[in-house]
Each structure stands twice: as C-alpha cells, then as structure tokens.
Structure 1
C-alpha cells in the first residue's frame, strides 16, 4: 500500500510539473491539504492549507489557510460549520508583483447523499470578506461527485473519479464572481486518507484560466471512534 501511495503521489506531482512547464503562461498549479477531524461524536475540526502558484512551483499566486469548527446535525452528515480564513495574494499589476491580505469569516452547510456507487455532496457557503480596502459578502454553491472505479464503494485501495462545479456570487454588484469546473482521479489510501490529482478551469471576469491541482485529504479522528 505504501508503495502504491508513493507512486501515485510522485506520478501526480511529475505530471503537474510537466504540464505547467509546458504551458507556463496559461496554467497554474495548486497544492492543497484538507483536514476534517472528529473531536467528538458530533463536532469536527476543519483545517486547510492551499499553496497556489502561477507556475509549477515558486511563483506564489495565493496562500490560503482556513479553519473552523463544525457540528453534525445527523450521524456523519448534514454538517454546519463556522470558520475563519487567512488569504495572502500576490497578483501581478502592470507587470509588478503586489501583495494583498484578506481576512475571511464563513458559514457553511454540507449535506451528502449516496446513490448506488455515486457519492454526491452539496456545500452552501456564505463568506464575509475583509479586504484591505473593501468589505464584501459572497455566496458559494458547490456540487461534487465521487465515483469509485475498481470497487463499488470508497474502500481502501480504491481508485475513483471526482468532478465538481462551484459557482461564486457576490451579494452586491456585480453579482457573478466566478465559476469553477473540476475533474480528477483519486486514490483511497485508507479509511481516513485519500489523494487526488486533477484539472480545474476557472471562469472569472470573461477570463478562463486552468489549474493543475493535487489534493491530500486527512480525516483521522482526534478522538476514539
């Protein structure tokens, strides 16, 4: 199992690096860690780090750190969460790199459904964004689907396909912010860990930009199950 995990991780990283280098001007790379750890039967601790680059690695576009406490309204489902995010952005303006810091408070609701071998997730998120020179509120709706390939369920040692669409809407003008469409191949390492490597296309202000993404998911509980 460890050998397979190493090969999948190395292969995903090399593929991302090769693709990004080949299209450096059009394609970025996001390296992401997501933790969702039980701290009691009903409570969970969300922790997340995303390192986003304009290229394969080294030219930072954005560093995002997000955390929060959630509560399950039903057993392992229907989770409500209150969280905080710190976002450091380094965009290019007229060819010069600048730096912006954003503090973000967010509330979200996640509900999950299973139809046969289809794992469906809805996420509704409201964000209060404290920008350096502005305050904005934004609503996001995420619809994701995971489909196991070599097993009927998301068991250890299972490869799976993953797709999602997420739309971002401002509560003030202009209403539309962006839309993200994503497709990936994932691998379930064990019942608490999995990894994904895929591609996301983002539409924003009449502009399309692609991102290679590698994500690691950790659900190891902090309490005895």
Structure 2
C-alpha cells in the first residue's frame, strides 16, 4: 500500500485540475487497452477511449479499436491488422456536430531495453473512411518506461512513462499533429498496470492539454 500513496496523490492532483478544465481548455481522456495472447504467436488487441472536452460528460470522441497481431520474434516485433470505430462530436461555430469514421490500420511494434530504459517504437498506417471523404495517414510513436523503485517493470513497481507521436497526412498537407505525454504509472501485477498523466497536442498551430488516465490489461486468453 505504501507504493500506491505517491501514485494516489498524483492521481488526486490530476482529478482536482478538472475544476479549471473549461477555463483552461483542458480535456480528459479515459482509456482502456487490452493486449491479450490467444496463442504463442498471436494476440488480440482491444481498446476503448472516452475523450471529453471538459473532463466529465461533454463527449469529444469515443474511439473503439480492435485487431489481431502476430509476433515475428518471441514477445517482440509485432505486426497487427486492425479496425477502429470513431464517433466524434466537435463544436463548429458554437454548435455541437457529430461525425462517424471507420478506420482500417496496419502497424508494426518493436521493443528495446537499455538498462532500466524500456523503449517501444510503433509505426502505423491508417486508411480513414469518413462520412464524405477518404484519407490516409502515417503515425510514428516512440514511448519510454523507466521503473523507479525496482530495476524491472515487475509487480508493485512505480514507473515514469513518456511518449512522443507525430501524424503525417499522405494525401493532403503533410503535417497533421504531434502529441507529447508524461505520466506516473503503477504495475499492479504481471498483466495489469495503470497510468495517470498529461498530454499536450499540437494541431493546426494550436496547443491543447489533456489529462489522461489509462488502464492496461495483458491477461492471456491461452490459460498460461
């Protein structure tokens, strides 16, 4: 329980910031990520993200992603084919609108370890089917996890998490957006962890901050 105290305090501060969310244009993303083994080589990816304009009930975007991945090497170098459903409710001229997007994506993830530094690279290509348009986009993500109270990302470990991800259009103006993220995480057990942090997104020359709370579930479906 002692290990949870600093994480709980950090989480409390993040939730407290919602009281000034609207005046500071600060939103919140609540995220669930599942990456579950279905055999020695195959994995099932499942993901739900609820993105809010104000940290509570003003929906900005609901994102559901799923896919099947395959490890080219043992527990690493994963290729995946997936599908995403995205419901967006942006404001235009002060009025709330609604858009639905269907998305097919292909990605490659590779991991590296240097001492306590755990690196992950993700390369993703997206085919985006909008209501009245079709677009393609490339994304590159580099993430870092650093355990604090243990040498490894073992159960009951506090860790620092950070990532940078940029997005490039393939059939319009090149730059789409860039995201920079920092967080504190806690490894609950070998298959579950939780993170709470802050992400800043640059899009159309505008900066917008997001509180992010994510839960990660890697419980295998193989019974191992």
Check whether TM > 0.5: yes
Alignment-derived partner of residue 197 in structure 2: 198
The alpha-carbon deviation at position 187 of structure 1 amounts to 0.2
Residue deviations 1:147-187 (CA, integer Å, cap 9, x gap): 00001110100000000000000002210000000000000
Contact kept, 8 Å, 1:21 with 1:55, in 2: the verdict is no
**CA–CA distance in 2 between the matches of 1:11 and 1:175?**
37
- Provide the rounded CA distance (Å) in 2 between the counterparts of 1:148 and 1:4: 13
Report the secondary structure of 1:16's partner residue: helix
What secondary structure is seen at the aligned counterpart in 2 of 1:154? coil
Residues 126 and 47 of structure 1: CA distance in aligned 2, closer, same or farther (over 3 Å): same
1:187 paired with 2:199, answer no
Determine helix, strand or coil for the equivalent of 1:20.
helix
Taking the TM superposition and a 5 Å limit, the aligned residue runs for 1:58-207 are 58-207=57-206
Specify every segment of 5 or more residues in structure 2 that has no aligned partner in the other structure, as ranges: none
Q: Secondary structure at the match of 2:57?
A: coil
Kindly state the Cα deviation for residue 62 of structure 1 after the two structures are TM-superposed: 0.2
Task: State how many pairs are aligned.
Answer: 223
TM-score by length of 1: 0.95
Deviation (angstroms), 1:24: 1.6
Contact 1:16 1:29 in 2 (8 A): no
Residues of 2 paired with 1:4 and 1:222: CA distance?
29
CA deviation after TM superposition for structure 1 residue 11, in Å: 6.0
Cα shift readout 1:89-148 (whole Å, capped 9, x = no counterpart): 000011110000000000000000000000000000000000011000000000000000
- Whether the 8 Å contact between 1:88 and 1:102 is mirrored in structure 2 is yes
Alpha-carbon contact 1:45-1:68 (below 8 Å) kept = yes
1-structure distance, mates of 2:6, 2:146: 21
TM-score, structure 2 as length reference: 0.95
CA RMSD of aligned residues (A): 1.6
In structure 1, the partner of 2:34 is: 35
**3-state DSSP of counterpart to 1:19:** helix
Give, in angstroms, the shift of residue 8 of structure 1.
4.5
Matched-pair contact (CA < 8 Å) for 2:148–2:159: yes
